[in-house]
Each structure stands twice: as structure tokens, then as C-alpha cells.
Amino acid sequence: MRSGRRRTPVVVVMSVFLIGLAAGVALAQSGVVVRVRTVLATDSGSEFDSRLEQQRRQLVGLFRYSSFRLVSEESRQCNFDSPQSFEIPGGRYLQVKPLGNREDRLRLKVVLLEGANRPPLDTLFSVPNHGNIWLAGPRHPEGTLLISIGAEVEPR
Amino acid sequence: MLSCQEVQKRFDVFLDGETEGRVMRDLALHVAQCPNCEADLRLHERCHGAFVGFLEREVDKIDVARLWARIEPELAAPAGARWWATVSDRWHSRPGISFAAPALAAAASFAAVVTIAGLRATEPSAAPTAIASNEARIESLDADAEHVAVWSEPIERTTAIWFANHEP
């Protein structure tokens, strides 16, 4: 009986500690980082921006342009269900709303806004945690814009 | 635009990623638009995966330790190794050296750990991390453009959505 009584506070303390730890972990995983990179692709020259080196395979494998230059890049830490607006060259705005994280995949709602016209693109997709997708086609005076949208769950 | 026959002849290089980007892209575009080639590619992919898996299992069965034990005696010591053997013998024959080697090894390990940690800490975090499969799953897509296409590159399976009034 005595040993049972002694154990009770220990069990309670351990349970509280574990519950707190689990809650801490859950809270720590509530943030998300959204990363938008805009690349100008052209068929003139053969420049490959060294800042895009880690995405060389993607760019060369997906698109048949001869030159790639990073024109803008922005990362933002935010919460789920919080829409984020990113400025894209040419007076465009990309609105990215992280919707959730399920099975290590992030769901994103993305709308490209261009003036008062109907949005040229409105899409909903999921990418793996730390993954990205390319949206391509918007015109630029010097070529075509390729927009990479990436996301990752950020422990806080 | 490649014909179905031309595409099917290149399935192996497509799956291995052993061709230039433009060809990869043309192949991916064709497969994305041709249900027959897509089905054939999926079948080819399964066979390819099974073959690679079989090879990996067979390679895993090789006992490398036993293989090396047989190879090692056959290898004659290279001429360049003699001076090192002499230096090593003199080093080990010095009095009081027995404690120095572990201490030096520990110091070298510590230096290596600090260096690697430092290098990792200074790596840029802005670029996306390479992952095994980067395939996106599109749930809805509404594009106000004449040309809309979706395709993936075959290695990381990164997805691209094309939406424009001109062709990709």
C-alpha cells in the first residue's frame, strides 16, 4: 500500500509532463513557411543564375528555355488559413493560403491576381512538406515568368 | 511533337533521366496528353522498378567483408606505402606515445564535428530542400488562358502548371 501511495504523485507528475510535452510539440508544429521564387526564363543566351542551382534539375527538366534568372524571392512564416500576398513582377499578386497539413503534405490555395480582370489562375493543390510546384506562363517584357511555390511546416 | 513510337523507344532514358531537359520535357508533355503512352509508361515503370529492386536485393546478398578478405592479400603494397610504414613504425616506437594517438584522434574528431556543424549552420535556407518525391496533387484548377497544361519531370516528379495564351 505504501509503495502504491508513493508512486501516485510520480505517475501524476509524469503524466502532466508528458501531456505538456505533447501539447508543446503540437503547438510547435502549427506554423508554416511559404516560399515564392520568381524566375525569368528566356530563349536568348544561356545564363543560369547561380542562386537557382538547387533547382537546376527541376528547371531544366520541366522547361525548354536556355536562360533562367531569379527575379524575386520571398519567404514568409505564417499560420494555416492565413492568406499571404506576394508581389510578382508585372503588377501581379500571388495569394497563397496554406489550408492544412495532412500526412506530411501541405494543402495550398493559390490565386494569381492581375489587375481587375478575372484571375488568370485559381488552384488548390497539395505538395509534400518541403516540396514545391511551378506555375508558369505569365508574360514579362523580357520573356516568361516561372513561379515556384514551396511550403514547409515550421516548428516554433 | 514526338510520335507515340518515338516516345515509347525512349521510355528507358525517360525513367533514368538520362537525356537532355528539352527531350525530357517533350516526352513528359506527350505522355501527359496520350492515355496509351501513359499506360505503357506506367507498365514500363513497374517493370523497371521490379528489375532495380531485384538487382538491389542481389547486391545486398554479397558479403563484402568476406569478399574483401579474399582480395586484400592479393593486393601488393604500393611503393608509396613504404615511407609511410617507416614513419609509422618510428612514431609508434617513441616512448610515451601510447596516450598521444587517442588524444590526437579525439581532437581531430572534435575538430571535424565542429567544422561540419559550422558548415551546416552556414548553409543557405532560402532554397528548397531536395526530396525523394515532389509530386503535387492538384484538387482544382481554374485558369483563364488559351493554353493550360500540367506535367511533371520524371526524377523528383516536380509538377508544373502552364497557363498562358502562348504554348509552353
CA B49 to chain centre: 15
Q: B128 with A150: CB under 8 angstroms? A: yes
With beta carbons less than 8 A apart as the criterion, state whether A95 and A118 touch.
no
Residue A36 pairs with which residues in a beta bridge?
Answer: A74, A149
* A6 has a pLDDT exceeding 50: yes
Tens of pLDDT, residue by residue over A76-112, are: 999 999 999 999 999 999 999 999 999 999 999 999 9
Q: Is B136 touching A (CB cutoff 8 A)?
A: yes
Residue type, position B92, single letter = H
Q: Is A35 a residue whose pLDDT tops 60? A: yes
pLDDT at residue A27 in the model: 47
Query: In terms of Cα–Cα distance, which of A95, A143, A90 is closest to A121?
Result: A95
CB B164 within 8 A of CB A139: yes
| Backbone φ/ψ region at A121: left (φ over 0), alpha (ψ -120 to 50), beta | beta
B20 or A83: which leads in pLDDT: A83
User: Residues 6 or more apart from A32 whose CB is under 8 A from it?
Assistant: A77, A78, A79, A80, A98, A101, A106, A151, A152, A153, A154
Average pLDDT, chain B: 72
Instruction: Give me the mean pLDDT over the B108-124 stretch.
Output: 50
Three-state DSSP state, A121: strand
Contact (CB<8Å) A54/B128: yes
Q: What's the CA gap between A50 and B42, in Å, rounded?
A: 35
Q: Is B137 on the interface with A (CB under 8 A)?
A: yes
Q: For residue A93, which of A83, A79, A78 has the smallest C-alpha distance? A: A83
Q: Write the pLDDT tens digit of every residue in B2-17.
A: 788 888 888 777 777 6
Residue in this structure with the C-alpha cell 509532463, named with its chain if needed? A17
Between B139 and B32, where is the model more confident? Answer: B139
Mean pLDDT of A5-27: 58
Residue that is written with C-alpha cell 516526352 in the block: B27
A102 touching B (Cβ < 8 Å): no
Among residues A75, A150, A138, the alpha carbon closest in space to that of A110 is found at: A150
For residues A47 and A56, give the distance between their C-alpha atoms in angstroms, rounded to a whole number: 12
Whether B134 shows a pLDDT value over 90: the answer reads yes
CB contact under 8 A, A148 and B128: yes
B24 at the A interface (CB within 8 A)?
yes
Q: What is the mean pLDDT of residues B65-86?
A: 63
**What percent of chain B is modeled with pLDDT above 70?**
52
Interface check for A76 against chain B (CB to CB < 8 A): the answer is no
What pLDDT shows up at residue B123? 39
- Assigned C-alpha cell, B52: 532495380
Segment among A4-8, A148-152, B20-24, B53-57 with least mean pLDDT: A4-8
Closest-CA residue of chain A to B135: A127
* Section B70-96 average pLDDT: 60
What pLDDT, on a 0 to 100 scale, did the predictor assign at position B7?
83
d(CA A96, CA A79): 12
pLDDT-derived band at B165 (thresholds 50, 70, 90) equals confident
Out of A75-84, A100-109, B26-35, B149-158, least confident range: B26-35
| B164 contacts A127? CB cut-off 8 A | no
Work out the percent of chain B whose per-residue pLDDT is above 90: 15
Asked whether the beta carbons of A114 and A134 are under 8 A apart, the reply is no
> With an 8 Å Cβ cutoff, are A131 and B130 in contact?
no
**Chain A contact present for B17, CB below 8 A:** yes
| pLDDT of amino acid B42 | 79
pLDDT tens per residue, range B84-106: 565 566 656 655 555 555 665 66
The answer for B 113-132 residues in CB contact with A (under 8 A) is 126-131
Tell which wins on pLDDT, A18 or A107.
A107
**pLDDT value, residue B2:** 79
Residue partners of B57: CB distance under 8 A and separation at least 6: none
